[in-house]
């Protein structure tokens, strides 16, 4: 059975983008993979987090994942800082990673923006930590949204260079799993910008905790153009906002953009947005309710994370110990 690893930052309430690009697929993949899912708090602090917020958000993210159907008994769910193997392997990978590779990472450019000199060093080396997250488990499949494709490619470059430098075939090749018609959900205010949980505008995203009225309002206000939905894919060219809403609808109706256009082509956006709202409320309300149920019992969330971390460490510790031995570290553990 293939081993999967994927992570999500507890940097806010998960969005519809996180759900369609990652969380929903994580749940589905449990049927035929060995899955390790991680709330990546080490990644979250690459951008400032108030300590009390980080703790709360770590529990909230875990509750959302459980509500999306992650099974913490059959698989593993934990928070990254609780398993030291991630940071140990990351340090080795910082030494393997070339600066030129990091300079090409578009997510760093997006997140650093014009304030490049002032962002943390950790934000810059984030992709090397992500490589360590995956490779500490010898995972071979990584379900992510489209925005993470470049980081998975970099993880393969790091694995290959490590293997080459130390003359071994130790780290495996990783395949990104980028699934569905909404692998890159865009902001509701700007169809050229990714929907993100840390976007300053709450109107730019649907949060998994939003109630029916909030979802309806955000979709009603979502930016569109004055034209009706086109009849074919060609008619979507140069219309990023239309493409985005249609992609979201497609993801929830198990079809693709063309399938939605077959049924809704020619419709005005007023009507289409109403149908989209009904769909979103129907699919997201049970997740919000289940998340709330978990959050009412924080001790049970902490127990899931503790158990997951202990089981994750059993898998990662020997792999990282072997990487340390290959590098030439004299181990105090013998």
Q: Considering the complex, state which of residue 9 and residue 79 has its C-beta at the smaller distance from ligand AQP.
A: 9
Q: How far is the CB of 38 from ligand AQP (least distance, A)?
A: 10
Q: Name the closest residue to ligand AQP (Cβ).
A: 21
DSSP one-letter code for 175: E
DSSP one-letter code for 115: -
Q: How far apart are the first and last CA of the chain?
A: 32
Q: How far is the CB of 231 from ligand AQP (least distance, A)?
A: 26
**Residue whose C-alpha is closest to residue 129's, from 197, 83, 75:** 83
Place of tokens 């990644």: 43
**Residue 194 bears catalytic tag:** yes
From 73, 111, 161, 292, active-site residue = 111
- With a CB cutoff of 8 Å and minimum separation 6, the contacts of 1 are 32, 33, 34
Q: Strand, coil or helix: what is 272?
A: helix
Q: Considering the complex, state which of residue 40 and residue 304 has its C-beta at the smaller distance from ligand AQP.
A: 40
**Residue 193 bears catalytic tag:** no
Q: Considering the complex, state which of residue 103 and residue 106 has its C-beta at the smaller distance from ligand AQP.
A: 106
Report the alpha-carbon distance of residue 310 to residue 76 in Å, rounded.
Answer: 10
From 197, 271, 283, 292, active-site residue = 197
- Six-digit token string for 194: 């990714």
**Residue 161 bears catalytic tag:** no
Q: How far is the CB of 130 from ligand AQP (least distance, A)?
A: 9
Q: How far is the CB of 331 from ligand AQP (least distance, A)?
A: 32
Q: Considering the complex, state which of residue 64 and residue 224 has its C-beta at the smaller distance from ligand AQP.
A: 64
Strands (E), 61-187: 76-79, 141-143, 175-177
Q: Which residues bind ligand AQP (CB under 6 A)?
A: 7-9, 11-12, 15, 17-18, 20-22, 144-145, 147-148, 183-185, 194-198
Question: Catalytic amino acids?
Answer: 111, 194, 197
């Amino acid at each position: 059975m293939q081993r999967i690893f994927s992570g999500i930052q507890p940097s806010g309430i998960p969005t519809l983008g996180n759900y369609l690009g990652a969380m929903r697929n994580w749940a589905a993949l449990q049927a035929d993979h060995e899955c390790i899912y991680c709330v990546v708090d080490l990644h979250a602090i690459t951008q400032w987090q108030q300590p009390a917020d980080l703790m709360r958000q770590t529990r909230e993210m875990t509750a959302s994942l459980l509500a999306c159907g992650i099974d913490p008994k059959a698989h593993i769910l934990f928070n990254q800082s609780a398993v030291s193997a991630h940071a140990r392997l990351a340090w080795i990978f910082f030494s393997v990673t070339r600066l030129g590779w990091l300079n090409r990472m578009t997510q760093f450019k997006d997140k650093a923006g014009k304030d490049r000199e002032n962002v943390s060093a950790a934000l810059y080396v984030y992709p090397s930590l992500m490589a360590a997250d995956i490779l500490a488990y010898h995972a071979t499949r990584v379900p992510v949204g489209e925005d993470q494709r470049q980081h998975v490619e970099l993880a393969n470059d790091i694995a290959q260079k490590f293997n080459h430098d130390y003359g071994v075939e130790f780290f495996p090749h990783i395949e990104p799993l980028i699934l569905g018609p909404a692998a890159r959900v865009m902001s509701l205010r700007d169809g050229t910008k990714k929907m993100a949980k840390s976007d300053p505008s709450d109107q730019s995203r649907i949060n998994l905790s939003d109630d029916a009225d909030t979802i309806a309002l955000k979709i009603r206000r979502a930016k569109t153009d004055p034209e009706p939905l086109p009849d074919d894919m060609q008619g979507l060219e140069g219309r990023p906002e239309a493409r985005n809403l249609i992609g979201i609808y497609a993801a929830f109706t198990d079809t693709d953009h063309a399938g939605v256009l077959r049924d809704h082509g020619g419709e005005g956006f007023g009507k289409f947005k109403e149908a989209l709202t009904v769909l979103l409320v129907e699919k997201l309300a049970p997740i919000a309710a289940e998340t709330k149920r978990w959050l009412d019992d924080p001790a049970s969330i902490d127990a899931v994370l503790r158990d997951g971390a202990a089981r994750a460490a059993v898998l990662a510790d020997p792999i990282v110990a072997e990487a340390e031995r290959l590098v030439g570290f004299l181990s105090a553990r013998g």
